[in-house]
């Protein structure tokens, strides 16, 4: 009999093991472009350019409205009872799954947490790299959402602001200063391995 390892068993049970550490590692790879020596990483995944992040929320409908105010577009709801997809929710019961997108390749899934998995927000920041940070910041404020800080924060490596969704997930919209990261990459590549 094939014994699954502890990570696999917990993952299959819906537990979120080391999720924050995994996101931090992925964010580092996204910012710096990952290892330049493929042997250091072993087999590299063939990333196809899409990303789906699933956020556990208390109320899918409320979260859909929040993310629409941030510029995300609803793609679909999934009706578990009818085993079907729909673009609008008309049932009296609240939806349990919605999928939204921002641009072409960034998707989020919003789902209600199973009883053993009722952890909302906290511990992770979700970064979305965009070109129009200042414009979105102004738009978000007109939607009645309070971003942090009170103005777009400008750092040598990026300009950004953060909002918290109704469940405490921290969403960061940022514009990366590519020249800064290119310089860091050059310095890192020059270091001995």
> What whole-number distance in Å separates Cα of residue 59 and Cα of residue 110?
9
> What whole-number distance in Å separates Cα of residue 116 and Cα of residue 14?
8
Domain spanning 10-34+48-190: which superfamily? Answer: 2,3-Dihydroxybiphenyl 1,2-Dioxygenase, domain 1 (3.10.180.10)
Average pLDDT of span 122-128? 79
pLDDT band of 116, cuts 50, 70, 90: low
Question: pLDDT per residue over 143-164, tens digit each?
Answer: 889 888 789 999 999 999 999 9
Comparing CA positions, the residue from 125, 165, 173, 118 lying closest to residue 146 is 165
Strand order in the sheet with 158-164: 125-129, 170-176, 158-164, 148-154
**Nearest 5 degrees, angle CA 9-CA 12-CA 15?**
85
Question: By the 8 A CB rule, do 146 and 152 touch?
Answer: no
Residue 174 has what pLDDT? 92
């Amino acid at each position: 009999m094939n014994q699954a390892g502890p990570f696999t068993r917990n993952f299959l049970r819906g537990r979120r093991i080391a999720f924050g550490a995994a996101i931090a590692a992925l964010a580092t790879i996204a910012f710096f472009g990952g290892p330049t020596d493929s042997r250091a990483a072993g087999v590299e995944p063939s990333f196809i350019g899409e990303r789906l992040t699933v956020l556990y929320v208390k109320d899918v409908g409320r979260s859909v409205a929040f993310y629409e105010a941030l510029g995300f577009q609803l793609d679909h709801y999934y009706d578990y009872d009818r085993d079907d997809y729909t673009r609008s929710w008309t049932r009296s019961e609240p939806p349990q799954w919605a999928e939204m997108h921002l641009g072409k390749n960034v998707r989020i899934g919003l789902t209600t947490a199973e009883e053993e998995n009722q952890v909302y927000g906290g511990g992770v920041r979700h970064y979305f790299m965009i070109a129009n940070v200042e414009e979105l910041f102004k738009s978000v404020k007109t939607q009645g959402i309070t971003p942090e800080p009170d103005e777009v924060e400008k750092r040598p490596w990026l300009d950004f602001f953060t909002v918290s969704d109704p469940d405490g997930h921290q969403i960061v919209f940022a514009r990366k200063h590519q020249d800064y990261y290119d310089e860091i990459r050059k310095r890192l590549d020059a270091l001995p391995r």
